[in-house]
Amino acid sequence: MPWIAAMIEPVTDPSVIEGYLTDASNVRGHADGLLRPTSTEEVAAIVRHCQDNDIALTVTAQRTSTTAGPVPFGGWLLSMERMSTIEHIGPDHATAQGGVILGQFQAEIERTGRLFPPDPTSRHECSLGAAIACNASGARSFRYGPTRPWIEAIEVVLPTGQVMNVERGDPVPPDWPVPSWVEPSVKTAAGYFPATDLLDLFIGQEGTLGIITKARVKLVALPEQVLGVLAFFKDRQTAVTAMMRLRDSGRANAAGALSPRCIEYLDHHCLDLCRQRVDDVPDPARAALFCEQEVESVGEEGHLEAWWELLEDVGALADDTIVTTDDIGRAKLHALRHAVPAGVNERVVANGMPKVGTDLAVPDDSLLTMMDAYEAAPVEHVLFGHIGDNHLHLNLLPTNDAELQICRDFYKDLADKAVRLGGTVSAEHGIGKIKKQALAVLLDARTLQEFRRLKRFMDPAWILGRGTLFDHPKSG
C-alpha cells in the first residue's frame, strides 16, 4: 500500500536526527534515519521492514534513560512521540498509547479522584511505554512497588512485526524459551523477568523483545490528603534507626499511624548542597529523611502525633523538622529536594566530567554494610535515595580522567559487593547499553545464554534494541 511505503521512508536530515541521539546518560550515538509513526499499524510495518532487511531499530521516546537504552548506534530510530493519546479513564483502570507522557496521564487520572501509583523521578518527562519497558519505580515504590503490578494489559509489536494483545494472566506460549532463574529478593530491574505470565515478560525488557504501543493500567483511590515530613538528624545512625522503625511499622500496617508511602535519604553532602541554595537546613544536621504519609483512618492529628513521638524518641532534630499540610510547606520541600540534583548537575558542569552513579539494592540486613562501602568513595560524592528499599544512589563526581577511571573501578567493586550480599546491580534504571558488565556480575554464563536464546527466538535478525542488555552477536 502506498501509505506504508511513504511511512517507511525515514527522515535523514542530520539537524532533525541530532535531537534524538543521546539520553540522560550523556552517551551519544548515531543513526541513519528517524521514523515517527502515528499508529500501531505503522509501527508494525516499520518493524517488519527492518526485520526483512536487517536494519537495526532503536525505540526512543523522551530519552530520560540513564543507561543509554534509547541511544542508537547505527540503523534507524523509531520515536513514539506521536502516539500519545489517552483513550479511557475509568474507576478501576485507564488506557493510553505508549508515547503519552506519564505525568500528564497521571494528572488526568487524578482529576477523576483515582491514582496510578508508579512515580519515577522523570515521570513528567518520560513516556508510559518506556516506564513499562523498564519496570520503572520511584519514591512511592516503598508502598506501591514498581510499575509491574499496576499493568493489566498491553498491545505490543514483536520484533517480527506481529501485533500481540497481552492480558494479565495470559500464559507464556510453551515453545518460548523463557529463561529460568531466580531474581535476587530485593527491588530489582536487571534482565528478563523469569515469567510464567506473558505480560511480565514484556515489563522490564528494555525495548529488546517488543515495542509497547498501548497499555491498560490499574487504578486505586487518590488519597484525600498526603503529609510531607522532612526530618533532620545529627548523624547517619540516628537517621537509619528512624528509617528502620518507620519501615517496620509501614510493613506491619499499611494504614497505620506510621505508614509512610516513601522514605528517602539525604546524606551530609546532599545537605551541604542544599545549604548553598535554601535556608531551611539546620547547622547540626548530618542526615535527613524525606517521607510522605497518606492520611488514613487515624486522621491528620493521629499521624502527626505518631510521627512526632517517633522523631523525639530516636533523637531527631525535632524542632527543625518540616511538616507539610499545605501548598506553602510543599513548596519548601520541593525547593529542598530540587537543590540536590541541581547541585550535582552544577558540579558535573564545573568539573567537565560525567558523574558515575550507582543503582544498587541489597537485603535489609546488608544496608549498613553497603552504606559503609558507599561512604568510602575515593572522590567527591553525594548519597541519597530510596532507603526504605535499601536502594541508594551514590553519585561520584570526578574532576579529571584519572579520577573518572578510579570511579569506574570503584563502581565495579560496589556492584560485586552488592551481588555478594544478595542484592542487584540495578534496582530501577535497568541495564541499557552501559551496564552490561554489571549484568554479567549478577548472572552466570548459563543464564546469560538463555537470555540470548530468547532474544534470538523472538528477534531472528536481532534488530530491536541492539547493544542493550548484551552485545549483538557477531554471527549465528
pLDDT digits (tens, 9 = 90+) for 299-308: 999 999 999 9
Q: Determine what percent of the chain is predicted with pLDDT higher than 70.
A: 98
Give the pLDDT confidence score for residue 161 in this predicted structure: 97
Residue 202's closest CA among 137, 156, 169? 156
Do 470 and 448 contact (CB within 8 A), yes or no? yes
Q: Which residue has the higher pLDDT, 448 or 25?
A: 448
Local confidence band at 228 (pLDDT 50, 70, 90 cut-offs):
very high
Mean pLDDT of the chain: 93
pLDDT digits (tens, 9 = 90+) for 395-438: 999 999 999 999 999 999 999 999 999 999 999 999 999 899 99
* Longest distance between any two alpha carbons in the chain, whole Å: 73
Residues in CB range of 382: below 8 A, 6 or more apart:
267, 269, 270, 273, 340, 343, 344, 394, 395, 397
Residues in CB range of 107: below 8 A, 6 or more apart:
none
Local confidence band at 4 (pLDDT 50, 70, 90 cut-offs):
low
Local confidence band at 474 (pLDDT 50, 70, 90 cut-offs):
low
pLDDT of residue 338 exceeding 80, the answer is: no
Flag the least confident range among 25-34, 111-120, 334-343, 346-355.
334-343
pLDDT of residue 3 exceeding 70, the answer is: no
Q: Which residue has the higher pLDDT, 340 or 227?
A: 227
* The C-alpha cell that represents 354 in the structure block: 560525567
CATH code assigned to 86-221: 3.30.465.10
pLDDT of residue 287 exceeding 60, the answer is: yes
For the chain, give every domain's residue range.
86-221, 226-420
- In 3-state terms, what secondary structure has residue 35? strand
- For residues 171 and 158, what is the distance between their CA atoms, to the nearest angstrom? 16
Give the pLDDT confidence score for residue 315 in this predicted structure: 96
CATH code assigned to 226-420: 3.40.462.10
pLDDT of residue 22 exceeding 80, the answer is: yes
Q: Where are the beta strands (DSSP E) in 279-321?
A: 287-294
Q: Report the alpha-carbon angle 154-88-465, nearest 5.
A: 30
Do 227 and 304 contact (CB within 8 A), yes or no? yes
Do 133 and 157 contact (CB within 8 A), yes or no? no
Distances (CA, A) of 109 to 100, 125, 219, 262, 356: 13, 17, 8, 21, 36
pLDDT of residue 263 exceeding 80, the answer is: yes
pLDDT of residue 5 exceeding 60, the answer is: no
Segment 338-351 shows an average pLDDT of 85
Segment 67-83 shows an average pLDDT of 93
* Helix orientation angle between 299-314 and 236-252, rounded to the nearest 10 degrees: 140
